[in-house]
Structure 1
Amino acid sequence: MKISVRNLEPTKVKLTITVEPEEFDPYLDAARKDIAKQVNVPGFRKGHVPGKIIDQRFGFGAVAGEAVNDGVPELYSKALEEKKIHPMAQPEFDVVEVPQSAKDETKLKFTATVERRPEIELPEIDGMEIAIAAPEVKDEDVDKRLEALRQRFGTLVGVDRPAAKGDFANIDLSAEIDGETVDSQEGVSYELGSNTMLDGLDEALDGLSAGEETTFEGTLEAGEHEGEKATVKVKVNSVKAEELPELDDDFAQEASEFDTLEELKADIRKAAGEDAKGRQATEARDAFLAKLAEGLEIPVPKGVKAAAVEEHLKGLTPDPEKATDEQKQQAEEGAEKEIKDQILLDTLAEKMNVEVSQADVFNFLASIAQQYGMDPNAFIQAIIKNGQLGSAVQEVGRSKGLLAGMRAVKFTANGEEVDLSAFLGDAAEEEEAESVEAASAAAAVADELSAKDGE
């Protein structure tokens, strides 16, 4: 097989692949056998029709067409492996030449245009040292958590005074456009200052007492008239204030298993400390990736970026067609960072000689299934059926590469080495006896699971 590679862009290549007859013949033979299984030819048992007869009866063109459909993707994959090209999107195939008969010496020739992962040179990781901030728990952190716990045990009591920020008002609302009522709600409980409903509602309610009403101009944020200006009438039915329990030993006993407030505070400080360590691990990860990317120019494939931007927009607005300039910019920046991180992590996984095992992939998929309350076996089979197993293998590889890279780095805080083993795990625990190269091994397991389900 002769392979030539032409760089169209820093992240796009065109492969021209010329296949020798002896490499294409197995696909022709397989195509003849497949056709023989599907047809009836007088004088021959089904599935046992000689290849020459298939060519004569159904035409070599039909045989070659099926062989091309089956062979091109496999031959393309071999070409990628030989040239060490890492695709980031589906290729565009163009079949240039195909033999027209069994005796035709014309070689199968096709092109594949694909966006690829750019080649980047990562710095040496051995001996790398990265300074990060030490985990810190401030008194205000403890107080904030304690106050949140206190609010969980608060009660609402009616007050005979005008509503103020922090109060809860029971209100009736009606919205009119050109004198016609387009929306109305009754008995809605609303916290003043939360700004969770109409713009202008907080200002309108501030200072109103039970039984009073007012009108204001607002923009409707949902429904058939979303985005339109309306005259909103609001009436206050009642005003309630939040009454919080005293911070004392009685509260500690009611809100926790502790007898004293000091014991409760100590436990809250401990929990805050664990959270701070978790944030430190996240900061270490971000600092590590930033160090790897320092000074690097990472080109992003245009098509891959366009698809990613579209996905990001879907998460920002129900109608991407109506996205604001700010949302478009946010989606573009998020997509670009996401792709650059993927390129960085894929390159890191290669540098760290990461191997992804069958167990790694299925444990990863099973954990996702559990998060969504799905049956792991059914989820894994669906992933394989939808052709998404390769993405799962890639995600596991990135994760293992990141962990391996971070284990090789020395992180320090205030000059002292930071132990992140609780978050990075032990490399020895990840070693598995059997590695997977593609979907075949995983698919075999899925087939076995399917067979068991069918019994």
Structure 2
Amino acid sequence: MSYEIIKNENSEITVKITVAQADFEKAVTGAYNKNKSKFNIPGFRKGKAPKVIIEKQYGQGVFYEDAVNALLPVHYDKAVEALSLEPVSRPDIDITNIEPGTDFEFTATFAVKPEFTLENYKGIEVEKIDAEVTEETVMAELEKTRDMNARLISVTDRPVQDGDTVYIDYKGFDGDVQFEGGTADNQELVIGSGKFIPGFEEQLIGKNIDEEMTVEVSFPENYHAEDLAGKPVKFEVKINDIKYKELPELDDEFAKDVSEFDTLEAYKESVKAELEEGAKTSAESAQRDKVIEAVAKLIPVEIPAKMVDAEIDNMLNEFNQQLSYQGLSLEQYIQFTGGSMDDFREQVREDALARVKTSLVIEKVVAQENFEIAEEEVEAELGKIAEMQGSDIEEIRTMFARDNFEYLKTNLKSRKAVDFLVENATLV
């Protein structure tokens, strides 16, 4: 067997892999032993027909597919190890020779990390992100709390206004046919919330309690139910109740009701301090992202498309996992949003490219600055993780010791690299 790089261009490598004839025949025999019980050959008990008889009746290559499937991953891994390569994408396999009596040959094409030197990353100019909390921000937060503590008061002497909460019965019709999912009794709806089909809520303004009306709207073109997407429909609607929101006064009594403070001024100071802490954390995170983004622009080579595609796969798997907690799959989500998998992949391509560049930058800074992690740093991190998870530190140590703490050390090096870049950036 032999492994040979036959193309190396733009961080994409093609390897020619030759498997000796004897090894291929051994794999074919293994495929025969695995599958022989599936063949019924006249004159032989099931599973007892010789390999040559099965091949004569079903063709020379009857066992080739299983033999190839057994050989490909083994020899691909051996080739990668022998040639000291580090693939960052799944390989595209092309079988180039599978003739009887000859060596089995195939090629594997895949992306590898681009090789480059990162320069001029120390002192890079980056816009400074402030963590200022204004009086307007504090008041907006107080208004949110007022809104959360508002009371709904029934209205009997006026029609529906924008911002009211109404309770309605409705039935939806496509022509004269009532469509599925378009019916509800005493449904709560805040006018102006945009919860219903565009144009629906506006047509309720000016209507009174117990009034019945016909609301005519059209479903959006990308509506998840294909039989209704883009269609004009009508709803028979009856208003059962109208309520408006009564906000509490912003005074000391309000502060006592919603907090541990006796005065509005003390409560405001507490809200401001909390907002400042959150703003500081957000600003620090955003500042780190800005610095990484600026340094990533210094990468002097093109990022392989296959590497970005592999990161898109990772992102879709992560998103699919998140959706599964809500009882959805990625395919269902895409169907509901009216797109396609290809469209969705293109939507996340830019973010995937940014993630790849970030990873490459951090890895390169770690290497060029020769960052190392001391044992005491590992111990400190183990302690933090144990405290955060409420676990015994020995349990955490055992978990990370499985790979000799390499995963933990890699994360710590990455963090150290980002800290280094931020500390050495010029904020303007």
Same fold per superposition (TM over 0.5):
yes
Tell me, yes or no, if structure 1 residue 132 matches structure 2 residue 128.
yes
Following superposition, the deviation at residue 209 of structure 1 comes to 1.9
Indicate the residue corresponding to 1:337 in structure 2: 351
Indicate the residue corresponding to 1:189 in structure 2: 188
Change (3 A) 1:352 1:275: same
Following superposition, the deviation at residue 305 of structure 1 comes to 2.8
Change (3 A) 1:331 1:66: closer
Give yes or no for contact 1:248–1:260 (8 Å, CA) kept in 2.
yes
Partner of 2:334, secondary structure, is: coil
Following superposition, the deviation at residue 245 of structure 1 comes to 1.1
Give yes or no for contact 1:97–1:108 (8 Å, CA) kept in 2.
yes
Letter in 2 for 1:226: L
Indicate the residue corresponding to 2:420 in structure 1: 408
Indicate the residue corresponding to 1:180 in structure 2: 177
Indicate the residue corresponding to 1:421 in structure 2: none
Give the whole-Å Cα distance in 1 for the aligned partners of 2:136 and 2:17: 66
Give yes or no for contact 2:291–2:425 (8 Å, CA) kept in 1.
no
Moved more, 130-139 or 90-99: 90-99
Per-residue displacement from partner, 1:385-428 (whole Å, max 9, x unpaired)?
A: xxxx9xxx99x788555422211124489969xxxxxxxxxxxx
Indicate the residue corresponding to 1:252 in structure 2: 255
Letter in 2 for 1:198: I
Per-residue displacement from partner, 1:117-149 (whole Å, max 9, x unpaired)?
A: 333443354555644222111111111111111
1:352 to 366, 369, 375: 366
Indicate the residue corresponding to 1:84 in structure 2: 85
Give the whole-Å Cα distance in 2 for the aligned partners of 1:176 and 1:147: 40
Change (3 A) 1:316 1:140: farther
Indicate the residue corresponding to 1:216 in structure 2: 215
Change (3 A) 1:140 1:300: farther
Letter in 1 for 2:148: R
Change (3 A) 1:162 1:121: farther
Give yes or no for contact 1:317–1:323 (8 Å, CA) kept in 2.
no
Give yes or no for contact 1:169–1:238 (8 Å, CA) kept in 2.
yes
Give the whole-Å Cα distance in 2 for the aligned partners of 1:2 and 1:355: 37
Indicate the residue corresponding to 2:236 in structure 1: 233
Indicate the residue corresponding to 1:10 in structure 2: 10
Give yes or no for contact 2:88–2:310 (8 Å, CA) kept in 1.
no
Give the whole-Å Cα distance in 2 for the aligned partners of 1:247 and 1:410: 42
Give yes or no for contact 2:362–2:417 (8 Å, CA) kept in 1.
yes
Change (3 A) 1:137 1:155: same
Tell me, yes or no, if structure 1 residue 299 matches structure 2 residue 303.
yes
Per-residue displacement from partner, 1:88-133 (whole Å, max 9, x unpaired)?
A: 2245264858997xxxxx8775532223333344335455564422
Letter in 2 for 1:135: A
Letter in 2 for 1:214: M
Change (3 A) 1:70 1:281: farther
Give the whole-Å Cα distance in 2 for the aligned partners of 1:74 and 1:288: 42
Indicate the residue corresponding to 1:57 in structure 2: none
Letter in 2 for 1:176: F
1:318 to 324, 334, 339: 334
Give yes or no for contact 2:93–2:106 (8 Å, CA) kept in 1.
no
1:141 to 137, 144, 148: 137
Partner of 2:143, secondary structure, is: helix
Change (3 A) 1:413 1:17: closer
1:283 to 282, 286, 300: 286
Change (3 A) 1:185 1:406: same
Provide structure 1 residue ranges, at least 5 long, that are not aligned to the other structure.
36-60, 101-105, 371-375, 381-388, 417-455
* Percent identity of equivalent pairs: 25
Letter in 2 for 1:171: I
Following superposition, the deviation at residue 6 of structure 1 comes to 3.2
Give yes or no for contact 2:87–2:113 (8 Å, CA) kept in 1.
yes
Indicate the residue corresponding to 2:159 in structure 1: 162
Over the residues paired in the alignment, what is the CA RMSD in angstroms?
5.0
Moved more, 225-234 or 308-317: 308-317
Give the whole-Å Cα distance in 2 for the aligned partners of 1:411 and 1:181: 64
Give the whole-Å Cα distance in 2 for the aligned partners of 1:355 and 1:69: 41
Following superposition, the deviation at residue 240 of structure 1 comes to 0.4
Letter in 2 for 1:177: D
TM-score of the superposed pair, with normalisation by structure 2 = 0.66
Give yes or no for contact 1:16–1:110 (8 Å, CA) kept in 2.
yes
Per-residue displacement from partner, 1:168-222 (whole Å, max 9, x unpaired)?
A: 0111112222222223211011001001112212211112221223223213456
Moved more, 304-313 or 141-150: 304-313
Following superposition, the deviation at residue 65 of structure 1 comes to 11
Change (3 A) 1:195 1:124: same
Partner of 2:131, secondary structure, is: coil
Give the whole-Å Cα distance in 2 for the aligned partners of 1:397 and 1:350: 15
Indicate the residue corresponding to 1:450 in structure 2: none
Provide structure 2 residue ranges, at least 5 long, that are not aligned to the other structure.
34-60, 321-329, 390-394
Partner of 1:279, secondary structure, is: helix
Indicate the residue corresponding to 1:438 in structure 2: none
Letter in 1 for 2:143: E
Moved more, 73-82 or 402-411: 73-82
Give the whole-Å Cα distance in 2 for the aligned partners of 1:251 and 1:271: 18
Give yes or no for contact 1:19–1:108 (8 Å, CA) kept in 2.
yes
Per-residue displacement from partner, 1:252-306 (whole Å, max 9, x unpaired)?
A: 1111111211111111111111211122122223212222222545334258639
